[in-house]
Structures are given as C-alpha cells and as structure tokens.
Amino acid sequence: MTAEKAAGRAHTKELIKHVESIKVIMSSRNIDKALENVRTKLGCTQRVGSNINRFLQSANCFFIYGNVMKCSLRGCTGFMNPMSYLKDLFLDHLNREHNRNHFSESLMLTFVMENGKLRVMSVDQLKIWFEDETERQMNTVPTKLWTEKVYTPWSLTIPDAVDSANFKICTNSDDFNRKFRDSNQSTKWTSVFLVKDSYGLGAVYPDADTLLELLKKEGGDEEITYIDVQQERFPKAKRKEFVELFETPKLKRRTVYNNLQMEISHVKALKDSIVLPEFAREHCMMNELGLGNEPRYERYVILTQAGAFTDFHIDLGGFSNYFHVLKGIKIFYFVEPTDTNLALFEDYFKNHRSEGGLNWFGNKGVEIRKVTLTAGCTSFMPAGWIHAVYTAEDTIAISGSFFESTCIPMHLQVYEHEDNVGLDKLHRVEEFVRVHVKYLVEKLRKTVKENNDNGTPMILTSKLAWNWKSFRKLLAFIDKIKIRNKRCVTEKQFKDCQKEEERQLALQAVLN
C-alpha cells in the first residue's frame, strides 16, 4: 500500500470517528432523518484529523435507500443503487447533478440503516457491504435481485393450469355456473375457477381511471399502510398520496409499490360503485347470518406496480376469495391444500419464511400451477389454497374475502395452522370464532335437528354427509376453544348441539 493510500485510509477513519461522535446524527431514526442531520449538523469536514493541509475538500456523503442512493447535496434526486462500487458512477452523479468533477475516495462516507441503527462506512467497507447485500438479496424473497435473478427463471418452469379436478377454466359466466354445478362444488367447494369473460357474474365495477379518481376524492385523506416491496418497508400515507405514488411514470420509479389492504366498504361512494359477484354474495356466511354491519372484507381495491411479488401464503382464517382485474396482469401460483402440502407450508412459514434459496416454498417439490389473470378476468378461490402472486404489469383490481359454508372444515384447519405458527391477533380474523359459533347454532344445528326429526341419517347423500361432517368438526372445535374463550357460546347452546349430535349418531347406528 502506498503512503498516500495509507494516509487516505487513516483520514477516512478519523472522518468516521468524527461523525460517530455526533450523537444527533447517529441517533437518526431513519435514513431520511440521517440525511437531514448530516446536512445540518456535520458541517465542514476539511479540518477533521491531523492532515489539515492535505484535504482541501469536504466529505462527500452518500445514503442508501434500498434500490436508490442519494448524496447529501441539496436538490439531489438520487440514482439507482448499483449494488457494486464503481467510482466513475458516483463521480458521474456528482458531475451531472451538482456540477462537481472530482472527489476523493478518502473523503467519501456512505450511510445505511441496519437493524434500526445508522452505520457509517468507508469505500472499502461499502464494497464489502455491496457483496453482503447482494448475497442477502439473492436469498431473500421478494427483494429486487431475488425477483430478477431467481423468480424469473423459476416462473418459466411452472406449467399453466388446465381444466381439471383442481382448476376450472371457464369462458364466461354460463360456463362457470355449469362447471360449478356439474363438478358438485355446491356440496364441497374445492376447485379454483377462472372466468375469462366476467360479464353475467352479477358484478358491477367502475373503470380503472374512474376508480383511481374516486380513491383520491372520496376519503382520500384516510391514512393507509402500503408496501415498498423491494425495500422491504411498510410506510404510511394518505390514500390519495398512495394513488399518486402508484401512478408514478415507469422511468421515474426507484422501487415497486403494492397495496393489498385497502378495504373501502366504509366509504359510501366507493362502496356504492362496486357490486360484488353474485356468487360471492350468495356464498358468504356473514350474509347468510345477517351480519351486514360487521367489519367488511368484501371490497378491497388492489393497486400494484409491475414487478411486485407476494410470497406464498394462505388467506387469513381460511377465507375464500374473488379477484377481478380491471387493468393489468396478475400471475397466481397455486398449491392444493392437501395435508402434506399444508404441513410443508407450515414448516416454511415457521422456520424459513422469506428465505429465497433451497428452503423457499417454491423449491419444495410441491405441485404448482400457474393462472394468469388479465383485464376482465375473475377468479374464485376456495379456502386454504396456498398461493403466491406476481404482478407482470401495473394492475388495478377488485378483490373480496368471505367465509363459505362448505369450506368450514378447511376454515378450522387454517385456524389451527395460524395457532401453530403463532400468528399475532392483528393478522387474524377477529370475527372468526363468533361467526362460526353463530353458524353452528343457527344453521347447522337446525339442519341436523330437521333430519333427526324426520328420522333421516345424514350419510345417505353427499350433501347431507358433508353438512354432518362440518357440524361435528365445528362442534369439536368449539368444545376445544371454549375453555379459553368462555363467552363464545352459552352452555345451553352447546348442550343443544350435543343433544342433536347424539340423536343423529343413534339414527346412523341403526343402519350399521
């Protein structure tokens, strides 16, 4: 190492030591605040250290914002994070943005937030950081590098779903109704349906542009949480501000934004602009029970920029789902909820979630099928299906979740899965127990009682057998949870259900 390089590195160490001594800077809560504090608190660094006469310039400070880097000079709009160190790229930025044609590596500091704390790095440390971050991103879902380098080739290996027992590809609403009926799904809904032409499904949606304007104007000041996908952050913004972020021209984007939790039923103008598909209305347990004033899950507006990937998951509580694309392209990757697949997914969720290497769920060897939704398509997904989603083009969609009565046994499996993985209350369906207890007491018990009164064993038809199975599983579930949730059911309600269970078992015993 030359004497000049040694002197330069020594000076950089003194610069870092000086910055780390400034408490206001080092206690910055985020990278934005760090940039602000460096601009206002660091001041001139030309006299830092002992070699006062050698270093005639102040330090050049750069800040890492995930996919973007910025310098501390005012007016900086930033540049894409190169994920490797090239001096000419940093110099080109200073020259292009700030009319500076020289900087010394000895006077370059880079700031990054790590685990909630600010770190200051020299050029040598930055090079190592780039190597480590590249490795981290390549093994972490859904970072920018992972999506580009791992997801893209993986996706080419996944076959499209074809019309089969698990998937029903329908040309229009008539085809949907026929296939749903002919495959006996009204007794036990298990297949994913794709309807290519949604006309006739009984739904009403605004066009994409009108919807965006409504989101801005009607309750647009409401605060929402959205996803900065590639920077792995969950910022907050007013809804109208998020819509503007979503509309950012592609050439000006520095990351990818997604929003999956914008339920709008509480805003009258937005609610009135959307009529759910008839299927979702008729198959919703909450509607069957007259729970019209309950918190709603039926009208989510999905705004997702191209390039967003959502990792494999199960919809909360075992919700069933409809999904309609107004504009754009969404690619779903479906895995059937067999006992084996659910066990594999539970292990992934508990022990390897977001790991993008060999432990990633997409690499577990399970059978995966791809379903592509374009503008005008609607999908209907029953409870429990494990799925991931990639957004190929900027997408505006309407989606809704509902409990479907023939899926009750799967609801209970998903509830147990959520218990097993320790899912926190904020990410669970608060009304799950109350809705299912009410359905047991008011619907299923009545069905069992009617068959008991008629002397009908509930094993004579597939529909009766499935109702009987749902009744018994739900009764056993309530018996188990009422120990920790004593108010979920009254003693009389529970005993009345037990009485009908005993009567039905006696009827079935005669057949044997």
Residue written as token pair 């529909």:
463
Q: What is the DSSP letter of 148?
A: I
Tell me, yes or no, whether 320 and 369 share the same domain: yes
Tell me, yes or no, whether 134 and 179 share the same domain: no
Is the pLDDT score of 380 beyond 50? Answer: yes
Is the pLDDT score of 462 beyond 60? Answer: yes
Instruction: Report percent pLDDT > 70 for the chain.
Output: 96
In 3D, which of 292, 234, 300 has the Cα closest to residue 262?
300
Cα 12 from chain centroid (whole Å): 42
Tell me, yes or no, whether 135 and 174 share the same domain: no
Q: How many domains does the chain have?
A: 3
Q: What is the average pLDDT across 190-218?
A: 98
- The CATH code of the domain that includes 386 is 2.60.120.650
Tell me, yes or no, whether 313 and 369 share the same domain: yes
Tell me, yes or no, whether 104 and 167 share the same domain: no
Q: Is residue 146 part of a domain?
A: no
Examine the fold and report which residue of 396, 422, 448 is the final residue of a domain before the chain moves on: 422
> CA neighbours within 13 Å on the CB side: how many for 7?
10
Q: Is residue 148 part of a domain?
A: no
Contacts of 202 (CB under 8 A, 6+ apart): 275, 276, 277, 278, 279, 281
d(CA 251, CA 112): 25
Examine the fold and report which residue of 397, 422, 447 is the final residue of a domain before the chain moves on: 422
Tell me, yes or no, whether 223 and 287 share the same domain: yes
Tell me, yes or no, whether 135 and 177 share the same domain: no
Tell me, yes or no, whether 115 and 168 share the same domain: no
d(CA 45, CA 74): 17
Is the pLDDT score of 157 beyond 50? Answer: yes
On whether the CB atoms of residues 450 and 504 are closer than 8 A, the answer is no
* pLDDT per position as a tens digit, 481-496: 988 888 889 999 999 9
Q: Is residue 159 part of a domain?
A: yes
Q: Is 498 helix (H, G, I), strand (E, B) or coil?
A: helix
Q: Is residue 163 part of a domain?
A: yes
> In terms of residues, how long is the chain?
512
Q: What is the average pLDDT across 60-76?
A: 90
Tell me, yes or no, whether 319 and 365 share the same domain: yes
* Helix intervals (H) in 69-195: 87-98, 123-138, 144-146, 152-155, 173-182
Tell me, yes or no, whether 444 and 414 share the same domain: no
Give the residue numbers spanning the domain of 453.
431-510
* pLDDT per position as a tens digit, 232-286: 889 999 999 999 999 999 988 889 999 998 999 999 999 999 999 999 999 999 9
Q: Is residue 158 part of a domain?
A: yes
Q: What is the average pLDDT across 148-159?
A: 97
Q: Is residue 376 part of a domain?
A: yes
Q: Is residue 144 part of a domain?
A: no
Tell me, yes or no, whether 49 and 90 share the same domain: yes
Q: Name the residue type at position 435.
A: V
Task: Report phi then psi at 25, rounded to 5.
Answer: -70, -50
Examine the fold and report which residue of 82, 113, 139 is the final residue of a domain before the chain moves on: 139
Tell me, yes or no, whether 406 and 257 share the same domain: yes
Q: Which pLDDT value is given to residue 484?
A: 83
Q: What is the average pLDDT across 435-458?
A: 96
Q: Which pLDDT value is given to residue 219?
A: 94
| 361, 367, 373, 379: CA torsion to nearest 10 | -100
Average pLDDT in the chain: 93
* pLDDT per position as a tens digit, 3-53: 778 887 888 898 899 999 999 999 999 999 999 999 988 866 655 555 444
* pLDDT per position as a tens digit, 272-321: 999 999 999 999 999 999 986 566 899 999 999 999 999 999 999 999 99
**More confidently predicted of 484 and 434:** 434
Q: Is residue 282 part of a domain?
A: yes
Cα 431 from chain centroid (whole Å): 21
On whether the CB atoms of residues 138 and 165 are closer than 8 A, the answer is no
Q: Which pLDDT value is given to residue 45?
A: 63
